[in-house]
Structure 1
Amino acid sequence: MVLYAAVGELAAKNVGAFNLDGVAARAGVDVLTIKQLWANAPELFTAALLAFAKKYMPIPDTGTLRGDMLQFAKSYALCFNSPIGRRLLDTLIVKPEDWDVAGSREHFLAGRREALTGMVRRGIERGECSEDTDPVLLIDMLCSCLGTPLLFYDLPVTDEHCEYVVDLMLNGVRRR
């Protein structure tokens, strides 16, 4: 309940205005209750992002690299095409001065990147792509190709875009 309130608070305000009191009011709990679980706003910020990502953008394991990447791409698009998702995406990009969101953001992104590269490593092990494929680069490219329409052109990401990007990328790393 508190984590959902934290996501709602992030979506309603800019990240610099995010604080434990606002989350407590939104959740209908005392701020001391929140402080027992999270010492400060950056810790709660990170926990809220992780909970949101786990629910709306789980790390797939479909049995194929294409299936994993496509399922992730479509969940990414569905999530970040929504108003709350767009606001959270902006939160991951912007560097506010009010508190150390950069450390929280880096912790969140590093964990997600590590989990997502597991999809690529499984694909390499199954022989679906070249052994010299860089899992980090492939995931960074996927997320960049999905994020560019949203961030720079204010365009939604379609299923067709997801399929095209995934197929284009996999053609580049396919085992020859």
Structure 2
Amino acid sequence: MATTEEDTPQRRPGGRSARVREAVHQAVLDAIVEHGVDRVGIPDISRRAGVRDSSIYRRWGSRENLLLDVLLDYSGQVLPLPDTGTLRGDLAGFATELAAYLETPLGGGLSRALAYVTDTEEMAEVRAAFWDSRFHAVRPLFERAVERGEILPDTDPRFALELLIGPLHFRTTLSRQPVDADVVERLVAHVVRALRAEGPIADECGGTG
């Protein structure tokens, strides 16, 4: 009997490959929350995801490559870059989303996992690559502020971001204090003041005050 186009299974873009990636990613996230980054192993991920070890190694090459792929993908999904038209608005939006993310079991688990992971050479490379990628992703926020004249052209975007996210990670990971709207507002006000082109800190670094 002849088959029609309707009878023929249609391949979806990414089909099985996308489903495998999704299952493996979710298995890694679950394992990180339960055990921490340094205890994530391919056999455990294979069991959780229902995917052969060989398939995982063939696609990612190593445990470290897999971890980096998962961490970057997830952080990109939950922390989109705001574009409000002002530096203050962008920083407030980003800080609010980050604070909310760090309060979730998964966000808090990932943060603690990165902070407390055993410092092998491989994991140090994963951590460095993760933060390099995150700083690169957030860089346009500060570039737009430079174009609007809100901060000096020679502002270091990496250090600027550290000024913003450092207190948030400290509160959620170390002191375990809540981060509410008032905390975000006060934090952003201090960061903007430190970065703005006419601010006292900018003046000491060569600004025009």
Within the alignment, does 1:172 sit opposite 2:197 as a pair? Answer: no
Aligned residue in 1 for 2:125: 103
Measured in 1, the distance between the counterparts of 2:48 and 2:152 equals 49
Within the alignment, does 1:17 sit opposite 2:60 as a pair? Answer: no
Aligned residue in 2 for 1:131: 153
Aligned residue in 1 for 2:88: 66
Percent identical among aligned pairs is 28
- Which SS does the other structure have where 2:61 is aligned? coil
Could you say if the C-alpha distance between residues 168 and 139 of structure 1 is closer, same or farther in structure 2, counting changes exceeding 3 Å? same
Aligned residues: 176
Aligned residue in 1 for 2:101: 79
Aligned residue in 2 for 1:56: 78
Measured in 1, the distance between the counterparts of 2:156 and 2:60 equals 36
Measured in 1, the distance between the counterparts of 2:101 and 2:117 equals 21
**8 Å CA contact 2:37, 2:114 repeated in 1:** no
- Kindly name which structure, 1 or 2, has the bigger radius of gyration based on alpha carbons: 2
Measured in 2, the distance between the counterparts of 1:119 and 1:35 equals 36
Q: Which runs of 5+ in 2 are unaligned?
A: 1-21, 199-209
Q: How does 1:3-42 map to 2 (within 5 A)?
A: 3-42=25-64
Measured in 2, the distance between the counterparts of 1:114 and 1:73 equals 17
- The alpha-carbon deviation at position 113 of structure 1 amounts to 1.1
Could you say if the C-alpha distance between residues 134 and 99 of structure 1 is closer, same or farther in structure 2, counting changes exceeding 3 Å? closer
TM-score (norm. length: structure 2)? 0.77
Measured in 2, the distance between the counterparts of 1:171 and 1:5 equals 42
Counterpart among 101, 112, 117 of residue 90 in structure 1? 112
Aligned residue in 2 for 1:46: 68
**8 Å CA contact 1:117, 1:135 repeated in 2:** yes
- Which SS does the other structure have where 1:71 is aligned? helix
Q: Which runs of 5+ in 1 are unaligned?
A: none
Moved more, 8-17 or 61-70: 61-70
Q: What letter is aligned with 1:160?
A: D
Aligned residue in 1 for 2:205: none
Task: Give the CA RMSD over aligned residues.
Answer: 1.8
